[in-house]
Amino acid sequence: MTAIPRCWDAEVVGVRDAGPFQVLTVSGAPGPSRPGQFAAVTVGGDRLLRRQMWLDRTVDSEDLLEVIVGHHAGLTPRTRGDRLNVIAPLGRPFSMPNAPLSVLLVGSGPASAALVPLAEALVAAGCRVVCLLLGEHVYGRLELRRAASTMRHEPAPATAEQIRGHVIDSLDPEPDLVYSAGSAKQIAAYVDLLGDLPHQVALDAGPICGTGVCQGCVLPVQGNDGYARLARICREGAVFHGHHILWAQTGTDFEYLVGAGP
């Protein structure tokens, strides 16, 4: 069962480095998180908005969370005893398959952290997991190598064509289900290659309020009624069905969409 999100001043009780990331174990969590959920953390200074930080897993007890601090977050390195204002666990988590399937995971950027607890849960459910990590700054290479049947890391794909080539290679043999984690721009480079394959995506939002009020993390989606509208990554996401996202319109003017504008 997923814990109800709450806001609290969390104490940092553990710190470890993982490449370009800092992993903070914080106390006072309201309960366990699920793969794909995240925290909204204040970073201090003149930054009004919080930063989205992915959750790895609940550790030791249900009142501890591991928060993954990416190189982009703007949070100065922390030490044991520091305090952070945290809202967690937030967001729609990944949906798990109802039967053991062949699964492809594709991760890039800080959001690749969301794939670590997902891979572990999929393997525990009997799934065959293949993982592809794209880019230099990705989290979880060692953890995913242990969990996945096959794990590839391509640290320097320079163009969209190279990204597409790596994804094409990973689609042979074709999986039953695909999970992606990264920015909308990164995933848009290859999403058409997936065709009709069931596809869930966890999206990086960057600066967020964590409540949906600021409308700073909106994404164009198509609802079940056929109409286009805006969804907020921090409220309706961060996990979406990939086929619901209007990938061609990401990063453009959204005034034509239902619910857009003042």
Domains and CATH numbers, the chain: 6-90 (2.40.30.10)
Global pTM reads 0.90
Across the range 197-220, mean pLDDT stands at 90
Per-residue pLDDT at 104: 97
Taking only the tens place, the pLDDT of each residue in 24-56 is 999 998 888 899 999 999 987 667 789 999 998
Residue type, 105: L
Residues 119, 133 contacting (CB under 8 angstroms): no
**Residue 219 backbone dihedrals phi, psi, to 5 degrees:** -140, 135
Taking only the tens place, the pLDDT of each residue in 90-144 is 999 999 999 999 999 999 988 999 999 999 999 999 999 999 999 888 888 888 9
Give me the percent of the chain exceeding a pLDDT of 90: 55
Q: Where are the alpha helices (DSSP H) in 157-223?
A: 160-170, 184-188
Per-residue pLDDT at 262: 31
* pLDDT at residue 83 tops 50: yes
**Of 100, 141, 106, 138, residue with least CA distance to 121:** 100
Tell me the DSSP string of the chain. Answer: -PPPPEEEEEEEEEEEEETTEEEEEEE--SS---TT-EEEE---TT--SEEEEEEEEE-SSTTEEEEEE-TTS-PPP--TT-EEEEEEEESBPPPPPSS--EEEEEEEGGGGGGHHHHHHHHHHTT-EEEEEEESSS-S-HHHHHHHSSEEEEES---SHHHHHHHHHHHTSSPPSEEEEEE-HHHHHTTGGGGTTS-EEEEE---EE-SSS-S-TTEEEEE-TTS-EEEEETTTT-BEEEGGGB-GGGTTS--TTSBT---
List beta partners, residue 21.
Answer: 18
Residues 7, 42 contacting (CB under 8 angstroms): no
SS3 219: strand
105 contact partners, CB below 8 Å, separation of at least 6: 115, 118, 119, 129, 130, 131, 132, 144, 148, 178, 179, 180, 181
